[in-house]
Chain A
């Protein structure tokens, strides 16, 4: 009986030491992904004290490649400036019902899409820039993003957004893009 007790104690210490070694990695894993996504059906929602809103979504099907479309998204972040800075970094993408993720185009093509589908005098800010450069009057800090997506997912897309420090919490908002004709 005494031996069994020692064996049980050894097993307990073994498990504890494993947990102790794995603890930082478990924390990192928890912070590394959007495990807890809150789905909102309206155009805005709140995440960690910051209101996220979808202002405009426009889409254009490429005439030469009719299976794909470019999508322009203007969104706003509104809230306490310090809270927005506390996010440290934006993590955003468009998701569909299969869990696929389309990230913003961070290249020349992305800038061309924003020029093509955006408005005169549009901001050039990305999500991260809008997070840091919030207007002092408390109005939403706007940013613009461009995406390349398959045409068949256009009706199913949602914006999923989180900050580096808000994860595992994230917010998911529906996107209802307006179709724009290609330029003549």
Chain B
């Protein structure tokens, strides 16, 4: 019995260690950013980013001025335009916006409307200053309800905060064509 106890302790220890090794998260999981969830209509903030969704719209077509011409863009899905008020907190920050659809898929802001004014990816948030910005996404229409706008630093933010602004409760106003300023 005296010899069984150490063997049992060693076996349990080995099993525990093996369990820890098998469930050890990989590096990317360890340094994932912290997500701050903000309910619809409310203002939230992380270490670097603060903001709220003011309104949202959807459109089948967008027109905007570019180099003196009026450019028209259509999409196979639908354009989602999220209007937000954003502010910097502690340090100047460049942003990246992502729409998390109802299915969990993630959509980056579209590059096809570059030239339209006040887009979130062109914005440089400054501490103490509020800015109005729009984020434009191209996505299937069924990804819009129950989605969320995710705001993060432009560069990969390990162990830093990202802001998840939940979609408004009311459905977005849909227009066939939306004119944006350049």
Task: Determine the main DSSP class of B at the interface with A.
Answer: loop
CB distance from A161 to the nearest CB of B (A): 15
Chain B residue nearest in CB terms to A149: B126
Known: A107-B124, A148-B124. A101 touches B90 (CB 8 A): yes
A7 adjacent to chain B (CB < 8 Å): no
Check if A30 is an interface residue, CB within 8 A of chain B. Answer: no
Contacts of A153 in B (CB 8 A): 128
- Chain B residues proximal to chain A, CB less than 8 Å: 89-92, 122, 124, 126-129
Query: B residues within 8 A CB of A99?
Result: 90
In A125-172, the 8 Å CB interface with B consists of 148-150, 152-153
Besides A100-B91, A149-B126, 9 other A-B contacts (C-beta < 8 A): A68-B126, A93-B92, A100-B128, A101-B127, A103-B91, A148-B124, A149-B128, A150-B126, A150-B128
Q: How many residues of A contact B (CB 8 A)?
A: 15
| Inter-chain contacts of A152 with B (CB < 8 A) | 128
Number of A-B contacts (CB under 8 A): 36
Tell whether, in the assembled complex, residue B128 and residue A105 are in contact, meaning their CB atoms are under 8 Å apart: no
> Which chain B residue shows the least CB distance to A107?
B124
- A149 and B128 alpha carbons, distance in the complex (Å): 8
CB contact between A101 and one of B91, B122, B124, B129 (< 8 Å): that residue: B91
Q: Which chain A residues in 63-94 approach chain B with CB under 8 Å?
A: 67-68, 93
CB distance from B140 to the nearest CB of A (A): 33
CB distance from A150 to the nearest CB of B (A): 4
Residue numbers of A with Cβ under 8 A of B are: 67-68, 93, 99-103, 105, 107, 148-150, 152-153
Give CA–CA (A93, B126) in the complex, Å.
12
Which residue of A has the minimal Cβ distance to B91? A101
Can you give 6 contacting A-B residue pairs, CB < 8 Å?
A101-B91, A102-B92, A102-B127, A105-B124, A150-B129, A152-B128
| Residue pair B90, A102 in contact (C-beta under 8 Å) | no
Complex CA–CA separation, A107 to B94 (angstroms): 11
Check B90–A100 contact: CB distance below 8 A.
Answer: yes
Q: Which are the 3 A-B pairs with shortest beta-carbon distances? A: A103-B92, A150-B128, A100-B127
Q: A67, A103, A105, A107: which contacts B129 (Cβ < 8 A)?
A: A67
Query: Which residues of chain B are within 8 angstroms of A68 by Cβ–Cβ distance?
Result: 126, 129
Which residues of B have CB within 8 Å of A100? Answer: 89-91, 127-128
**Residues on the A chain within 8 Å of B127, using CB:** 100-102, 150
Indicate if the CB atoms of A101 and B92 lie closer than 8 Å.
Answer: yes
Least distance between B86 CB and chain A CB atoms (Å): 14
Complex CA–CA separation, A153 to B91 (angstroms): 14
